Homo-oligomer: A and B are copies of this chain.
Amino acid sequence: MSATTAEQTMETARKLVELSRDHRGVEAVDTLYDEKIVSIEAEGSDELPARMEGIGAIRGKNAWWYENHEIHGSKTVGPYCGHREDQFAVLFEIDVTFKPTGQRTQMSEVALYTVRDGKVVQEEFLYLAP
């Protein structure tokens, strides 16, 4: 018997949360992300546009992020599930220093994921307003 859409999404959601907790974000992208993943940050810059598409771009973005940040601590809460079978959310809290400036920040963000056939096709990040 094949899994329903809701079951597939939940399985993807639980794996993503587990890998994030284990600091295995690279593995999450490799195993759970669709080739045509769309990633939407709150704000863009010249280096990193707000909207990026394709697994290569997302790998590049993540590599940039890990190279430029020192993580002191993090907490992953989720998955949060609602009525939509193709969507879930995860809460991330990260205590991090941005290496180029030395600025340390306690970030809190809600990540909203869209799933198709068990693969993440969109990630969207919302940040706690100061």
Contact = CB atoms under 8 A, between A and B. Distances in A.
Contacts of A82: 40-42, 112, 124-127
B42 A81 contact: yes
A74 to B, nearest CB: 16
Nearest 4 CB-CB pairings of A with B: A82-B126, A80-B126, A80-B110, A42-B82
A128 B83 contact: no
A1 interface: no
Interface residues of A, number: 31
A80 B51 contact: no
A contacts with B: majority SS: strand
A43 interface: yes
Nearest to A109: B80
A94 to B, nearest CB: 14
A55 B58 CA distance: 41
A121 interface: no
Nearest to A10: B129
A106 to B, nearest CB: 12
A25 interface: no
Contacts of A77: 108, 128
Interface string A1-44: 00000000010011000000000000000000000000011110
